[in-house]
């Protein structure tokens, strides 16, 4: 049931992870909804853990690193996510942005992707590797939502493998 709500929300509202509350540097969260031929992924993390600061980029160096790191999320999902090639999944970024967190001076990065696959991803594994690109991210809580229910796992260094 939760899966259906999540999918509908995708169409109507800007962000999947609006209710995300904790803001702990080094800790991110990834919601994954798995359907018959689609995988919908919504990621949120403190900006500090993505590009090292949580203010407007002031110096040229800050602008460069912020741009580089957000570009990985926007266009280079293949560095982060890998699934069996025979599924022929087509990955698209839905949205990547920076939002203000509750406390002044804190910001989060949010990103959403959709993979549309020719074969069902059920029973397959998704390799997740935020660690290689985002070394400040020490831990990632992954919530997998399927028709059969939800399960959560925490990946050390935001890197590991999830079975659908």
Q: Which residues bind Zn ion (CB under 5 A)?
A: 46, 54, 106
Question: What residues are paired with 92 via a beta bridge?
Answer: 114
126 to each of 76, 94, 123, 159, how far by Cα in Å? 16, 19, 10, 11
Instruction: Give me the least distance between CB of 123 and Zn ion, in Å please.
Output: 38
* d(C-alpha 143, C-alpha 29), whole Å: 8
Our CB check for Zn ion shows the closer of 38 and 106 to be: 106
Handedness of CA 114, 119, 121, 127 (dihedral sign): negative
Q: Which residues contact 36 (CB under 8 A, 6 or more apart)?
A: 120, 122
Instruction: Tell me which residue has its CB nearest to Zn ion.
Output: 106
Instruction: Give me the least distance between CB of 107 and Zn ion, in Å please.
Output: 7
Question: What residues are paired with 111 via a beta bridge?
Answer: 43, 96
Our CB check for Zn ion shows the closer of 46 and 160 to be: 46
Our CB check for Zn ion shows the closer of 35 and 54 to be: 54
Instruction: Give me the least distance between CB of 6 and Zn ion, in Å please.
Output: 26
Instruction: Give me the least distance between CB of 113 and Zn ion, in Å please.
Output: 23
Our CB check for Zn ion shows the closer of 124 and 136 to be: 136
């Amino acid at each position: 049931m939760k899966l259906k709500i999540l999918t509908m929300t995708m169409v109507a509202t800007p962000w999947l992870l609006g209710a995300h509350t904790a803001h702990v540097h080094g800790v991110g969260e990834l919601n994954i909804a798995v359907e018959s031929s689609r995988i919908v992924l919504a990621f949120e993390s403190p900006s500090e853990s993505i590009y090292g600061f949580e203010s407007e980029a002031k110096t040229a160096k800050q602008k460069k690193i912020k741009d580089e790191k957000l570009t990985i999320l926007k266009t280079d999902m293949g560095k982060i996510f890998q699934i069996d090639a025979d599924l022929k999944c087509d990955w698209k970024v839905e949205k990547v942005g920076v939002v203000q967190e509750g406390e002044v001076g804190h910001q989060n990065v949010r990103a959403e992707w959709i993979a549309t696959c020719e074969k069902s991803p059920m029973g397959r594994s998704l390799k997740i590797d935020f660690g290689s690109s985002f070394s400040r991210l020490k831990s990632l809580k992954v919530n997998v939502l399927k028709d059969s229910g939800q399960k959560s796992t925490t990946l050390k260094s935001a890197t590991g493998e999830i079975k659908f």
